[in-house]
Structure formats: C-alpha cells, structure tokens
A and B are shown apart, each in its own frame.
Chain A
Amino acid sequence: MNVREVFDRLGLSVIVTGDLTREVKGCYISDLLSDVMANAREGDIWITLQTHPNIVAVATLKNIAAIIITNNRSPEEETVRKASKEGVSIAATSLTTFDLSGRLYQMLRC
C-alpha cells in the first residue's frame, strides 16, 4: 500500500503533498522526537500530535514515508513551509491517535 492509498482510505485531509507513491512499510506512533529518531524505520508512517517544524527534520532524517497529525491539530506555518520544501507529505485528521492507529492497523493487516 502506498501513502496515497492510506490517505484516501482513511479520508485524511492532505496538507502537504510529497511523494504520495511511496510504499508504506509500517507505522510508528510517538510524540517524542528523540524516540522517533531512535526507533522509527525508513518507510514508516509517523502518527503524532506534534505540529512544530522539528517534525520535518526528523521525518527527513529517518526517511519517513509520511506524517499524519491527529486530534484536529494543524501543523504550524513554518512546518508546512519546510515540509513542502523537503517533500515530506503531511496529512491531518480529527480522529484521535488511538482511533486512527486502530484503523490503520486493520488496513495494513489485510
């Protein structure tokens, strides 16, 4: 499954369009940057509540497939700017982290 399919099937609003054809290898959930740096893997979709620009740097460094921001949060302007520049896809949802993860889990399993 690629990023576009995940975004479409979950009905997410896409805020920054990076490479949506990237294959989604897994999913990592964390709101702590040091934790993502240590444990996330290349090709993961990263689910978080964090909206500040540092998330783009982390996503680029770890070669993350896309970021999904939950709980109706919106990324800061600077975050959107940086993500557009770096080609990092960002989508948002009004679902909570738990509910979104649950649905993504069920999607990736089948």
Chain B
Amino acid sequence: MKTDEFRTKIEGSFHLVGGDFTKAGAASSELKSILTNLGISQDIVRRAAIATFEGEMNVIIHAIAGVMYYQVSHDLIKVVFEDMGPGIPDINKAMEEGYSTAPDWVREMGWGAGMGLPNMKKNADELRIDSVVGEGTTVEILIRIK
C-alpha cells in the first residue's frame, strides 16, 4: 500500500508498564513494522522508530505507566506519549545531552545515558513536551512524510 493511496488515518495505541524492561521497545518495533509496510521511505521510518523508541524507554524508565498513541496519515506521523510519572522539573536541563535522572540499576541495563530527549528532538520535525511535577508528562512527536 503506497502512502498516497490511503486516505484515512491509521492509528492505534500501546499500554506501557513502568519498569517492565522485558517488553521495552516492543511498541516502537511494531510501529516501525507498520510504517515499513505502508511503504514509507526508510529514512523517515528510521527517524520515527528512533524517536518513538526513546519516548517509549523514557516512560518505562521513569514512569509508573503510560500510553503511546500513534496516528499516521499520508503526510504526517504523530506519536504521543502520556505517562503517570514524576514529571520533568526542568525541561531545558532534560534536553541536555548526557543529563540523566535514571537510577543506577537502569544504567546497568544499558539505559539512562541521558540521550533520550535529545535523540527525540534530533529525529522529529516537532517535539512538544508538557509536564507537571508529581503527576506526569506528555510528549508529542511529529514527523512529516515527504
């Protein structure tokens, strides 16, 4: 199916469980397959996969639980993460490469290098972050399909 052939939006969602590293990346992996099957160019699929993966990992590393919504139309990929988590006290700091609030045990698994949000910004066309400390965070990624 070519991207210019589908008129309707393709959408879905995944539940994300905080701390569940066994499933970590499953949602992004599936979205990547969906995008590939839609015939979207490899470059855009790759960017979407990376940005989504980092977003998913952020929820799993920091939050209690969350949801990932995705919506794909002929010219836009939108992925939204809504979580119940600690929130981000200083968003600017969180956007710094290498800055991480991940606990040590997470670092031992290979995560928490502080590249999550920067990687998302690098790969998305637009990134919006809304957060309330003590409640949770919403992150929205937009990637245009050319």
Cβ-based interface call for A34 (8 A): yes
Cβ-based interface call for B93 (8 A): no
Cβ-based interface call for A54 (8 A): yes
In the complex, the answer to whether B104 meets A32 with C-beta atoms within 8 Å is no
Q: What band does the interface of chain A fall in when counting residues whose beta carbon is under 8 Å from B?
A: 10 to 19
Chain A to chain B: the 8 pairs with minimum beta-carbon distance, closest first: A34-B108, A32-B108, A51-B98, A73-B98, A33-B108, A49-B113, A54-B104, A32-B110
Q: How far is the CA of A34 from the CA of B104 in the complex (A)?
A: 11
- Which residues of A68-104 are within 8 A (CB) of B? 73-74, 76
Cβ-based interface call for B9 (8 A): no
- Shortest CB-to-CB span from A60 to chain B, Å, is 17
Q: How far is the CA of A31 from the CA of B98 in the complex (A)?
A: 14
Q: How many A-B residue pairs have CB under 8 A?
A: 17
Q: How far is the CA of A39 from the CA of B110 in the complex (A)?
A: 17
Q: How far is the CA of A89 from the CA of B110 in the complex (A)?
A: 24
Cβ-based interface call for A9 (8 A): no
- A51: chain B residues at CB < 8 Å are 98
Q: How far is the CA of A42 from the CA of B98 in the complex (A)?
A: 28
Cβ-based interface call for B122 (8 A): no
- CB nearest neighbor in A for B104: A54
- CB nearest neighbor in B for A31: B110
- Which residues of B69-119 are within 8 A (CB) of A? 98, 100, 104, 107-108, 110, 113
- Shortest CB-to-CB span from A14 to chain B, Å, is 19
- CB nearest neighbor in B for A74: B98
- A52: chain B residues at CB < 8 Å are 100, 107
Between-chain CB contacts (< 8 Å), 17 pairs: A31-B110, A32-B108, A32-B110, A33-B104, A33-B107, A33-B108, A34-B108, A49-B113, A50-B107, A50-B113, A51-B98, A52-B100, A52-B107, A54-B104, A73-B98, A74-B98, A76-B98
